[in-house]
Each structure stands twice: as structure tokens, then as C-alpha cells.
Structure 1
Amino acid sequence: MPEKVTWEQINRSGNKLLAPAYKSNGHVFTSGSVGSDPVTKEIPEDVAQQTENAILNLEHVLKHSGSSLDKVFKVLLFVSDGSFGPIVNEIYHKYFPHQPARSCIVVGFPNKKIKVELEAVAEYKELDPKL
């Protein structure tokens, strides 16, 4: 049976219509992580900073789900403009040097400030309840 990861479990507030992740059969499936600042929740104008923030937000969800960026084997990346590719790829490669499978789709986000969003599938291990 899939196990829901809640906003409370990852110590963040979020969209109450969805879970930040689900775990099943040794895998964690995340919802999309956008480039908002993890502390202020502000969305920076700069696509490079949004990309960095989105990956750090994803890393936070993975960590609190018993996984990590190096356990990611599939990424779905959304960008609002295809011309952002070189900037996004430069930052992406710093965090994913192991080159997980990836798709990249150009989309129109409902919030026009958002330029980058990613979701991932990763392996996980059970967290030690003493941590």
C-alpha cells in the first residue's frame, strides 16, 4: 500500500490538495517542486536562482522521505521558456552528475512568476525513527 508523505513530516506548509510525495515498493514519487525561496517563500525573478531553489526544495522532500538526490533515477523538468535550457542544465548538472533519466517540457504555469518546476522518482530506505 502506498504511504503518503505529509507536509507535517517534511516540516513545510504546502498545497493542501496534494501530498509532497508518496512512497511505495522502495521508491519515492515526489510532487513538483518550484523555485520559491525555502525560507521567505518568495519566487525570485532569476531563472538560475529558481532552478537552484527548486532542486533544494526537491532535496528537502527527498531527505524527509528517506532518500536523496543521488538516489533519483527519473526527473520530470518543466520550464516556462525553452531558451532557459542552458542555464537550467548548468545548475541541474551540479546536483545530478549521475545523469538520471529526464524529460523536459515547456509549459505555461498558472503563476507567471514560476519558470522552473521538477518532480522526481527515487529509491528510498526507511528512516531511523530515532533521528
Structure 2
Amino acid sequence: MPRQIITTPNAPSSPLFSQAVRAGSQVFVSGTTGLVPSTGRMAGDDIGAQTRQALASCEAILEEAGATLDDVVEVGVLLADPADFAGMNEEYARWFPSDPPARYAAKLGAEVPGLLVSIRMTAYAPDHDA
């Protein structure tokens, strides 16, 4: 089964990793931060703004792959500061108000100035015409 690299200008990108990879009916979204793609700057210095932007970017990547947030089966959240967990949860609940996917949260190992959160996802979207 060949893999398909997913790319969209509506999410942060890097030459070091793919925004997402589709393999059959699974879409693997890379860790996505609160970076605004049009400006190259963080969405703000608070966890709510960065979580909102990271989730919006994940949604744009999923859309490019032919999936939606409803197709997400697992989410991984990495926080620079574990004390931001409640603030992240507040914004996250707006995006997954019912029947949320499986999720884990952990402390981000890398120290990147200004970076508060990184979110990755796995989606199951079998109706894709790849």
C-alpha cells in the first residue's frame, strides 16, 4: 500500500517532516503547533490561542487528506508547561464537544521559545479515493 504525503498551505510546514501521511484508510497528522501559517508567528502567548490555532491547522490538514475531525480516532497533546492542561482542555472541548477521540497528554521534551502546545492526530477515513 503506497503512502500519500499530505500538504496544505493552510497549516505550518517544514522540510523536515510531512504535515500528514495517508496510508490506506488511516491519516497520520504530525505534531502541529500554534504557528499561524500566513505570518510564521505564534497565534498568541496563551495556551487557548495556540491550542485553537493548532487544532485549526490539524483540521486543514485533515481536510486536505479527505478527512474531518469526526474521523479522528486518537489525539496526542504535548504541553511545554503541564500547568496549561486546564486551559488546553477548555479550548479542546470546543472542537470535540461530544464523543471525543482517544487522547493522551504529556510534557513536551523540546524547549522551543514561545511554543506552548503541539497536537498530533490519527484519523480513520476509509472513503478516500487514493
Alignment TM-score, normalising by the size of structure 1: 0.87
What's the counterpart of residue 110 of structure 2?
A: 109
What's the counterpart of residue 25 of structure 2?
A: 26
User: Which amino acid in 1 is paired with 2:102?
Assistant: A
Q: 1:127 to 1:113 in 2, by over 3 A?
A: farther
Which has the larger share of strand?
2
Q: Distance in 2 between matches of 1:89 and 1:11?
A: 27
Q: Distance in 1 between matches of 2:109 and 2:59?
A: 24
Q: 3-state SS of the aligned residue for 1:32?
A: strand
Q: 3-state SS of the aligned residue for 1:5?
A: strand
User: Which amino acid in 2 is paired with 1:105?
Assistant: A
What's the counterpart of residue 71 of structure 1?
A: 71
Unaligned stretches of 5+ residues in structure 1: none
Aligned residues: 126
**Aligned pairs for 1:1-131 within 5 A:** 1-7=1-7, 10-11=8-9, 14-43=13-42, 44-97=44-97, 98-124=99-125, 125-126=127-128
Unaligned stretches of 5+ residues in structure 2: none
Alignment TM-score, normalising by the size of structure 2: 0.87
RMSD over equivalenced CA pairs, Å: 1.8
Q: Distance in 2 between matches of 1:127 and 1:78?
A: 32
Identity %: 27
